[in-house]
Amino acid sequence: MSRIFVTGSSEGLGLMAGGLLSEQGHDVVLHARNTARAQDAQHALRGAGVIIGDVSTIAGTRSVAEQANALGRFDAVIHNVAVGYKEPRRVETSDGLPQVFATNVLAPYILTALMRRPQRLIYLSSVLHRSTTAQLDDVLWQKRRWDGTKAYSETKLYDTMLAFAIARRWPDVFSNALEPGWVPTKMGSSEAPDDINQAHLTQAWLAVSDDALVTGQYFYHNQRLAPNPQAEDSDLQDQLIAVCERQTQLALPN
């Protein structure tokens, strides 16, 4: 039995992955933004613990890391939490950061840096990461005209870069990224064409399977897939880590 923490798991793919892992006999801890969502998660997956915290803020993400560490070391962490790409304007958090970057990139970075190091790390990307390029000189969208889809796509590229950077820096951890497909979730919309019943399987497989003891790889439906080439650029990875360090005032442990 493994102990697994799934962020952003009060509904959608995070809850589906947590439910599957629980059915397989693993000890699953979910995560919800607030108490109401936590109650929904506990109702959906009875017996699961739930950590509460708003990971769109640096302080909220630090609190989630502290709560997770208080429960002990996890065998795997699935970085599922994300906000979508339909914001018509640049929405800022209380830290003065774009919500999409703070939630999708800085939250997994902070949790990776502060939580007790697990054996496996899984970062959710998107097919949209292939259609963009890294803009590390303006990750906060202060120079460019806002484009919600592009901003989201960039964060998913950065999530993939983060997974590969961790794989390179921490050889004792299996760190991988995946795309679940464009599926009909709240974020994906009802028009999404991919199979929702397949969308949560890869992250669960990467979290526990003996066949998934690999690192620095990108997956789609349990199969290796070539990512955006920029994700594998070690210089860009290091630049991203430096950006995250500056924005959070938190260094990634060696």
Tokens, residue 76: 């795997």
Please report, for residues 52, 79, 99, the alpha-carbon distance to residue 36 in angstroms, rounded to integers and kept in the order given.
Answer: 10, 21, 21
Is 152 part of the annotated catalytic residue set? yes
Which residue among 85, 123, 152, 218 is the active-site one? 152
Is 156 part of the annotated catalytic residue set? yes
DSSP character string of 178-245: E---S-SSTTT-TT--S-TTTTTHHHHHHHH-GGG---S-EEETTEE----GGGG-HHHHHHHHHHHH
The answer to whether residues 132 and 125 touch, using CB atoms and an 8 Å cutoff, is no
The answer to whether residues 165 and 142 touch, using CB atoms and an 8 Å cutoff, is no
Which residue among 109, 123, 150, 156 is the active-site one? 156
Residues recognised as catalytic: 152, 156
